[in-house]
Homo-oligomer: A and B are copies of this chain.
Amino acid sequence: MKEFKLGGGNANPETFPYEEIARVAAEAIREVGGDFASYPGELGHEGLRRLMAQRESTREGIEVSPDQIVLTNGSMQAVTLMAEALMEKPGDIILLDELCYMGTIDMYKKVGAKLVGIPVDEDGMRVDLLEEKLEALHQRGTPPSFIYTITTYQNPTGAVMSLPRRHQLIDVARRYNCIVVEDNCYGDVHFEGEKQPALYALDNSPNHIYLGSLSKILGPGLRLGYFFARPPMLQRLLGRRGDGGNSLLAASIVAAYFKDEMWNHIERANRALKEKRDALLASLQEHLGDICSWSHPVGGLFLWVNLPHDIDMTRLAELANAAGVRYVPGCEFHVDGTEIPNLRLAFGHPPIADIREAIPLLAGCIRAASAHSTAATSEAAG
């Protein structure tokens, strides 16, 4: 049976420039040469760090020295490292978007953190509620280890934190002397509209930490991400890293490709992703416009669907599974695992034809699994 892969957050294989990367690989390897016999150092390949510094400067208005950028095994390694380095003991609290990337939720639970979710709206994390929570935690003598937030093209909601909200967050974090981990792993994938500067560009406190990735604009198979921070935070984070540094082989080859092609590639990749997003939006409108609503993401790889409130999520999972349509149910993104009438569709990986074929199937499943169409359910299941 055909599988429609709208579940996992993989990148677009159609624009992965493997032919171009293959063409520059040999030269990149010869340039590193005998240095492969040495450890890559705690920061990693200098050429790629320099390119990432340029990219963050142009894209986000961030001034960062390549000497403060640390290459990681995908940004996920950096996500995990934040908890490992910044928590003092199991049970310490991390504040994060109440709806958040499931990989982050999962790892932070595994390292023993107590997660406290802050509601998210279309402007990102609700900083008014964050402040209330911080105040309560401080009064209880249990301040959080840090705040983790995906500021731009939030996963799963697609929200972009507004500029006033960013300033508010910076102000609250400063007043409570709280570390902010800004995960901007989707920052490259921009389709339209105004861009917001990173928190890191708006405030130079060493309490800000920034996470970036090449998994979205290139692919997670490379395992190339990074973080940066200002001293003394940088040293604190580096001190807990336990893998001996990032592969010079992967980094040098990608640097050789990006040296001339970074911006061209990003433009090409985003154009193709925008077409996929538009195809998904059009299909949803056509097949679910009467009973569902959804986000209109201006960047990132995900679309967040609000299902009918009476949906039976278990039944939907069964039906969609039988139809071969993969998605991730809303509860996986909820910090507390709360069952919510939502699902996330990932549009980066599947071909447009698959998106157009999958949505009518998914729409049938949704109609069949929502209670006020019981008749339809019986028929569909029959």
Contacts and interface: CB of A to CB of B under 8 A. Distances in A.
A370 interface: no
A39 B8 contact: yes
Interface in A1-49: 8, 10-14, 16, 18-19, 21-23, 25-27, 29-30, 32-40
A322 interface: no
Contacts of A243: 72-74, 76-77, 80, 223, 243
Contacts of A29: 18, 21-22, 25, 253
Interface residues of A, number: 64
Contacts of A73: 73, 77, 223, 243-244, 246-247
Interface in A231-264: 239-240, 242-250, 253-254
A221 B80 contact: no
Contacts of A240: 110
A22 B26 contact: yes
A349 interface: yes
A76 B307 CA distance: 46
16 contacts: A13-B35, A16-B34, A16-B37, A19-B30, A37-B220, A37-B221, A38-B349, A74-B243, A76-B242, A77-B243, A79-B242, A84-B84, A110-B240, A221-B247, A222-B249, A223-B249
10 cross-chain pairs, A with B, having the tightest CB-CB distances, nearest first: A13-B34, A80-B242, A77-B243, A36-B221, A37-B219, A25-B25, A76-B244, A13-B37, A22-B26, A221-B248
